Structure 1
Amino acid sequence: MNDKAIDSRMFIANVRGTPRFGNNIVGVLNQSDPVVVTGEQVGDRWLPCSVTLDGEQRDVFVSKNVLRDQVSPAKERLMRECVKQWLRFDKGNAKEHHSPHFNFVGEFWQAIPLNLDGKDRDVPWSAAFISFCVKTARGYSGFKFAAAHSKYAHQAIRRRNENVDGPYWGFRINEHKPQLGDMVCRSRAGSGATYDFALNNDAFKSHCDIVVRIAKDHVVTIGGNVRHSVSKTNYAINSNGFLEGNGKVYAVLRNNR
């Protein structure tokens, strides 16, 4: 019996009472919800699974196309927290300054901690979101919680170059293929940040998102203060699995936990 976890292409997966398409949907699972495969495949795609729906354990069928192997517990917790916040912000449709979401932004700021919320619209909160998710996930001791992405990106790149253990190591985009729980870092507001610049500096305009899904030609990430919400972003990857970058992505932070 293999442990699996949902990884839907649309962040949502239908679970069915019988192994076929049709009027047999008994529930919906979000990405990173746990699934246990309980038997052999039926037909061309259907796997018998045990899942939790509305607090009740159910035996259902799930398409193999929306399942992925589990990764480490720390990575799973981190991605689950990202998805939780994405759902809390109505899948990117809720805005930072609206009620009650401005209070949720305030929770992110407390991870630093700073006494701000979503009504402080002149202060970017994307790094506070990352700090909140990493802290809530647990298992990332030594992470540089900060109000600026450049602080922990610089830390991760320095640690990798100096071979110092840490929860994240920073790589050039042609050195490491992004994996679940990693971070994609790009320059912001014309800063023109590069890997070498980030190696030697910890104060520059930047943005990072957490990878929650690997597809054939792109990775899906979740980040905060993206279109004034918690939203997903797709980053293209080439046939070898490396980020294309498009001139803005300067580093991939590898999740070592």
Structure 2
Amino acid sequence: MRGKGFYLAVLLALLLPPLCLMAQQTGERTIVGSVVDAATNEALQGVTVLAKGSGAGTTTDANGNFSLRLARTDNVLLFSYVGYAPQSVNVAGKQNITVTMSETANAVGEVVVVGYGTQKKKDVTGAISVVDMKEVNKLSASTLAHALQGQVAGVDVTSFSGAPGSGITVRVRGIGTLNDSDPLFVVDGMMVGDINFLNTNDIESVQVLKDASATAIYGARGANGVVIITTKRGSQGKATINLSAYYG
């Protein structure tokens, strides 16, 4: 009589070949590696690592390392990271890899800076007009308010009289019924009462917020519209002198 040990040995001998064959067929393996910046050689954390085809994936840790279990047919890994060019790496026959990723500069659509963030120009719902300062500087206007006459649709600039240097009124959203109807002037982030002190040659850009949505940025003070003015600023390098003069 043969004992139970004999039959157990026979059973294992019959089961081991199929198990080995299944392991060879699946061919699963684990690949480890690291991802670094091509310029600084610093580890990149949070890089997405995906196996092309099966979709198996992981992300790099704080040290830029990753470990991923791959199927037999997974031979290409895809690396992607915000601000860096995506990479495709063939890992056939490899168990340990190091991937270098390079930064990329992607052109973005024109954006408009608003009081509560930035928006793509096509997504801006408020009425915003930008004054072309190159055209304004061609005029012989004593003040910026006079130079704005006829430059912005929907903005009415009227002089008190025809005398040189006389006061002017600016109306962006017509005549209001509460308080005065003057718009809010913002010069380099500072709210001012008028802009008669500004030299047109010192101005970099002028934007007029004509829509009621300006109140979301400046509150009730922007109910009559807002004129945002940015003045020119110096730059490093050799000193330069610009002269602008006219007579009449």
TM-score grouping bracket, smaller chain normalisation: under 0.3
Q: Which has the higher helix share?
A: 1
**Higher Cα Rg: structure 1 or 2?**
2
Higher RCO (CA < 8 A, seq sep 6+): 1
TM-score when normalising by structure 1: 0.25
- TM-score (normalizing by structure 2): 0.25
